[in-house]
Amino acid sequence: MGASTITEAEIWEALREVPDPEIPTINVVDLGIIRRVTVGDPIRVEMMPTFTGCPAIDMMRQDIEARLSAFGPVEVVVVYDEAWTSDRITAAGREMLRAADLAPPPHGAIRLTPVPVTPVACPYCGSTDTQIENLFGPTPCRSIFYCRACRQPFEQFKAV
C-alpha cells in the first residue's frame, strides 16, 4: 500500500482498534488521547497522556506503532503542550468505560477542584446512593467509591 493511497480516515479507523492496555473495552480514539494524525512519510500520530505518571504511555505508543505499521513507517509523538482532560472521552467512550464496570468521569467544564458535584451512579446497579472512599485508586486515573444500594465497591475514571 503506497503512502499516496492512504487516507487520514483509514488511520483513525485503525486507531479505533487499539485498546487501552489497562481498560481494554475502550480504544485510544474514544479515550480522546489522539490529538492529530498526519498522513505522510512517516505517518505521524500525536498522543496526549491521560496522566503524566501513567505507566501505560510507552505500551500505548508501541501498540499504536504496531497497528499502523501495515500502512508504512509510523512516528508516535507524546505531546504535553496541551493537557488531556476527561472531557475528551467521547460519548461512545463513556459507554465503553461502563462496560469495564467503571463509572465515567463527571461531565461538563473541567473544574479546578474535581469534587464529584453530581452523585456518581454505580456502574453495577445504577443507584446514585454512593460515597467516595478514596480519591486515589489502583491506577493514577481512578478513584474508589462504594455503592450503598448494592454494597459493592466500584471505581470511577477521574475527572481531570
Partner 1 sequence: MRAEVTSALGRYLLTVADDELILGYRDSEWTGIAPLVEEDVAFSSLAQDEIGHARLYYMLAADLLESDADHLALGRGPDDYYHASVLETRTTPKYDSSGAHRGGGDWARAVARRFLYDLFDDLRTDALVSSSYAPLAGAVQKIRREEQYHLRHGAAWWRALASAEGEARERLEGALLALWPGLLGLFEDAPGEDLLVAEGLLSRRTSDLRDAWLERVQDHCAAVGIRFPAERTAAGWSIAVSPEAGGRQGRHGPAWAELYDEMTMVRRLEPEAVW
Binding mask 80-109 for partner 1 (x = CB under 8 A): xxxxxx------------------------
Residue whose cell numbers read 506503532:
65
Sheet strands side by side (includes 34-38):
34-38, 43-47, 74-78
In the complex, what is the shortest distance from the CB of residue 60 to partner 1, in angstroms, rounded to a whole number?
Answer: 15
Q: Are strands 142-147 and 152-157 parallel, antiparallel or unpaired?
A: antiparallel
Q: Which residue, 100 or 144, is less far from partner 1 as judged by CB?
A: 144
Residue whose C-alpha is closest to residue 75's, from 103, 113, 36, 49: 36
Residue 73 interacts with partner 1 (CB under 8 A)?
A: no
- Residue 99's identity, in one-letter code, is A
Q: Which residue, 12 or 136, is less far from partner 1 as judged by CB?
A: 136
- Give me the residues paired with residue 156 across strands: 103, 143
Residue 72 interacts with partner 1 (CB under 8 A)?
A: no
- Among 46, 133, 150, 152, which residue interacts with partner 1 (rule: CB under 8 A)? 133
Residues 46-65 that bind partner 1 (CB under 8 A): 51-55
Residue 42 interacts with partner 1 (CB under 8 A)?
A: no
Enumerate the H helices of 5-152 as residue ranges: 8-15, 57-68, 91-99
Interface ranges with partner 1 (CB under 8 A) = 51-55, 80-85, 110, 112-115, 133-138, 140, 144, 158, 160
